[in-house]
A and B are shown apart, each in its own frame.
Chain A
Amino acid sequence: MQILYYIILIPMVYFSFIVFVLGTIIRLLKIFREPPPPGKMRIYPEKRPAWLWAVYDTFLFPTVLRHKPVFWFFLILFHTGFILLLIGHLELIREFAVFQIIPHEPFIGQGFIGLILSICLLYFLFRRFSSPVRELSVPEDYYLLILLFLTVIFGSEMDWARRWYGYDTISVDSYRSYLFSLLSLRPELPYEITSSGHSFMLVIHIFFGNLFLMLFPFSQAMHSFLSLPMNKLKRG
């Protein structure tokens, strides 16, 4: 079991990050090296500055708000929560003063961000089971959402255990020690990371996180990078 833990927590993490970074860069290079379209792709009425409207479209999803307000509500919650979780993970490497404008312990949100994200993912998943979105969906849409949900729920569970139930065997310092060792390319596994009661939760969380990272460049999750240039194209 310890060998399996080791593989998931160290070599697989490195491997998945390499796939994520290289895969994303190669895919983006491939797309951006294509020739431009033969004509202008914009729609009207024209609004200037186009780049600012493209930013607005990309981050606030006004078209979704207009046509599917409930979906928009969950999308905004999800994307905001996702960014906060990413910040939380950065804070598990070391403390960043910039994120401490509002003083908090990692993660921000006292465990509720993970809960909100889990609810959002369940909503995204179950709306795919109802027509007509069901007919539009393909298996990868479900797999990606399930994978994200599993990653979030196991990760959140550790946060909830620590915050809500006082289970602090794996402390923030333990995470920092593990993650910083990975980042500094001198990987080590603190005893409490692999041998506490919740270690298997961490291992499962990291396992699914690794899978998600490896899948990312080859999935529609690439919209994280492509949405802005696409909206710029639409805005002219």
Chain B
Amino acid sequence: MDEKTRNALLKLFQGALNKAMRFYLETCTRCGVCVEACHVYASMGQVKNIAAYRHELVRRIYKKYFKARGKIWPSVGEAIELNETTLNELYDAAYSCTGCRRCMVYCPFGIDTQMIMSIAKLLLIGVNMEPEILTLLADTSIEKGKSLDLYKEGFLTGIRNLETDVLKKWQSEAGTAAIPVDVEDADLLYVALAGAHSIIPAAAVFNAANENWTLSFFEAVNFGAFVGDPTRTRLILDRIVNEAKRLRVKEVCVCECGTAFRVMKHMTVSQPFKVSSITEVHARYISEGRIHLDKSKAQGLITYHDPCQLARNGGVIDEPRYILKHLTDNFIEMTKDPMMNWCCGGGGGLVALGEETLDFRMKSSRVKADQIRNTGAAALVTACENCHTQLSNLNEHYKLGINVRFLSSMVADALIKDDTGDKKGN
């Protein structure tokens, strides 16, 4: 690696050194408490997949270039040079970490491996070594934000085509759009994924709850966060923030996408709207009596997978259980403590990389498959697109014979009118 490239990368590194990052890079005692935290290590048993080993790679570069000790006596901390070999190791570390932050629950200091891995991803972007498809997807999202008029007509046509399916699930009052779009002063802006499965059930539930809502032009998923590029993450996020401000909505409701929810919730501070996940909104509708659910729709033993970005990293833990209590009397927890639930193994952009990562995703998630199998459940419910894809892959690979379902879609399927037959459910 030439000096110019190295200096440019070190500048990127320096730019990522905020207070939290300094804490994390300065403090690790390599005590080994995090050893069993990572599902990849638990499934594959390779030391390189231990959380502390992953972030030590970044720390060694930090010691070499940002600490006097690394210059005077590099061997004492095993400080290493930033070169092609190091970058390859960083790639392996960064793109085998799903950013589930389970290790953070183990670490006595609360070191966030996902955040340290963001430096690794940043360096990889600096030399164009990041997965190209993620950058392309991120750039497409950004471009859509810049040239909305080009996409608008096609989007609206697509939405109109979905309305019949929404009405099949819940008959709205005559004269109201089954999927309202671009409604100013709506109470709630729903940010979906690019796919009918993310829009139809959600629309049916909003209509059943008589919500004053509108659908966002943009898809929720933030590929910038997957690729680890803070600039792209912010640009993708800002499209939705600007739309919410333009429409003067009171609440932004993020669909079943853990990363989108976490980025939206934790990176938008002091905005004139609140951020909720669709799971929280559905739980609220049930508790307020705005929707009613039919328990007979869900058959057999049901278990729930807590998406890491939604539960451990987003705080949505009680709400899905509250919803499930109204969907079934036959529920079994996957783990005693949801905070300690195993990651599905598909986060951090791994699912978005598709077939390329499939073999690794299956091998590295053996513990998750075992956990699911041990519940003996007939249906596995989750509230995250990434998790749903990964769990479906696991179901097939490990022959679990379980029905993998979205929580929101179960809610939509179980909608009933209340005893008075009021369509609004009030």
Using a CB–CB cutoff of 8 Å, the interface residues on chain A facing chain B are 27, 30-32, 34-41, 43-46, 57, 61, 63-64, 67-68, 71, 127, 131-133, 135-141, 143, 218, 220, 222-223, 226-227, 229-231, 233-234
Contact = CB atoms under 8 A, between A and B. Distances in A.
Given A36-B20, A45-B339, A230 B109 contact: yes
B127 interface: no
6 cross-chain pairs, A with B, having the tightest CB-CB distances, nearest first: A234-B110, A133-B32, A44-B315, A39-B266, A37-B20, A34-B19
Contact of B30 (A34, A141, A226): A141
B47 interface: yes
A132 B22 CA distance: 25
Given A230-B109, A233-B23, A44 B52 contact: no
Contact of A233 (B20, B69, B106): B20
A43 B105 contact: yes
B108 A61 contact: yes
A41 B77 contact: no
A127 B29 CA distance: 13
Q: Say what secondary structure dominates the interface of chain A.
A: helix
A137 B32 CA distance: 9
Given A32-B19, A222-B27, A231-B109, A140 B77 contact: yes
A45 B315 contact: yes
Contacts of B67: 218
16 contacts: A34-B19, A36-B18, A37-B19, A37-B21, A40-B269, A44-B313, A44-B315, A44-B317, A45-B315, A132-B32, A133-B32, A135-B47, A135-B53, A220-B26, A227-B109, A230-B111
Contacts of B75: 139
B355 to A, nearest CB: 31
Given A35-B19, A133-B30, A141-B30, A233 B110 contact: yes
A38 B267 contact: yes
Interface in B144-203: none
Contacts of B315: 44-46
B104 interface: yes
A135 to B, nearest CB: 4
Looking at B32, B50, B106, B112, which has the most chain A CB atoms within 10 Å of its CB?
B32
B22 A34 contact: yes
Contacts of A64: 31, 33, 108
A31 B317 contact: no
B105 A63 contact: yes
Nearest to B69: A218
B33 A67 contact: yes
A84 B75 CA distance: 34
Nearest to A34: B19
Interface string B1-25: 0000000000000000111111110
A8 to B, nearest CB: 22
A71 B31 contact: yes
Contacts of B314: 44
Contacts of B266: 39-40
A138 B47 CA distance: 14
Nearest to A231: B110
A41 B112 contact: yes
Contacts of B32: 68, 127, 132-133, 136
A229 B22 CA distance: 12
B29 A220 contact: yes
Given A63-B107, A220-B30, A230-B24, 16 more contacts: A38-B18, A38-B267, A43-B101, A43-B105, A43-B339, A44-B317, A45-B339, A61-B108, A63-B106, A64-B108, A71-B31, A138-B78, A141-B29, A218-B67, A220-B29, A223-B109
Nearest to B32: A133
Nearest to B56: A136
B255 to A, nearest CB: 20
A34 B33 contact: no
B358 interface: no
Nearest to B308: A43
A68 B311 CA distance: 24
A121 to B, nearest CB: 13
B104 A43 contact: yes
A223 B53 contact: no
Contacts of A46: 315
B19 A31 contact: yes
B29 A41 contact: no
Looking at A35, A43, A71, A227, which has the most chain B CB atoms within 10 Å of its CB?
A43
Nearest to B17: A34
Interface string B315-348: 1010000000000000000000001000000000
A68 B33 contact: yes
A97 B104 CA distance: 42
Contacts of B29: 141, 220, 223
Contacts of B50: 132, 135-136
Interface string B84-128: 000000000000000001001111111110010000000000000
Contacts of B108: 57, 61, 63-64, 227
A37 B24 CA distance: 12
A19 to B, nearest CB: 13
Contacts of B33: 63-64, 67-68, 71
B257 interface: no
B20 A138 contact: no
Contacts of B115: 37, 41
A220 B28 contact: yes
A34 B18 contact: yes
A67 B24 CA distance: 21
Looking at A44, A137, A233, which has the most chain B CB atoms within 10 Å of its CB?
A44
A136 B27 contact: no
B35 interface: yes
